[in-house]
Structure 1
């Protein structure tokens, strides 16, 4: 009996995107690309002929597609596009089973790749603070309330960053990139660049905490900051620089993984 040939990863990626009900442009923007033209080669076997997709791309796609579609897309389905076949491994690099590593299969490989050990959950201390927020009056805005509401496991790349913190997203203006209740990680020492997802914190009145927004940075000048969101799509949100207290860069899945 002839072997059934698996479809190329480009075709599988397209199938998953369509199953999620997203256009190519919307997925591309949610993954940090300027638009479909920067992303489309990963769905075209004539333009991308490698066996596996780049891990940083797959990690970002997994963040967006997981849970969408019918039946709901599983994270493992997306991670398989990078050659990760071991169950229980998450994009943060912490598997459900200690010591289990991804199996990467290369062209012409005779023996299985030697698994590199992944540390178990205990290797990552649960000491990263998640700051509490107060929901604001406008849709999707919030303010830091000065309290720590949770401690979560510290991703490996933040192991020595004492100022790092997490925040639970409020609202769905950045869906499907971030949904309401999603946990995002912030590295205050990494300056945001255009195209990065950010938390913008404004000055409050009379010393009170100011409103914060999760958006995508479009451009930044000495006078103002221009932001974008996905739901509904907008890329013309402008805020005077004098109103802004801080712009925090949200780490991508690839950065959290250290790739």
Structure 2
């Protein structure tokens, strides 16, 4: 195995070389290929039908890239796919391939249904493959009093202010889990990378609450930076002036000035992405 070396604090740390494609990229490719199979469209055909530049998906599937598809792009592709499936008789839909879309269908279902209400039965069909364990499926018995769903942060959001509960720019929402039924400031983050494996994997939904204390050892937190970035990290130590957080893969700590951090929010639970 090839290795690379990071020099930090005078010490040499050996870590695995970055793979040609990350687990999150591979998961996204698998989802796109499933959408292509279900619609019968090529990569460029699906992109064009979804209102995207035809080369957007083709380039991602067939060439080495350093990025994955954005959430807006995935929403456009998912919406087009479910709109087409909604026009088909149920018997014409490959159930196994449809169920492979469950991780994305759960995250995007509310946004898809706002655009294609007729797709509800198809989304239910996709989510049924997980045995009902996904926290995203629609239910009229969701907790009342607070909103039935909570915002999902997928990356930097203009105007985001978790501390005051301002999520107006959040594109996605997911059903409120029972353990957050009385928490008005709860939110979730879509895990974007492998920085916290094996604790959290790319694509996991990580639930957090600004109301929970940060006491105890091995506390996982959402870090909201002053520049709008959000990351999932292990809290190592904090003082009035500095905060030290760490990744698990590779194990690496970083100290950040308190003035550069808007808030730290305790991770309560996570929902694993389907494998």
Task: Answer whether TM exceeds 0.5 for this pair.
Answer: no
Give 1 or 2: higher helix fraction: 2
Identify the TM-score tier after normalising by the shorter chain. Answer: 0.3 to 0.5
Q: TM (normalized to structure 1)? A: 0.43
Q: Give me the TM-score of the superposition, normalised by structure 2.
A: 0.41
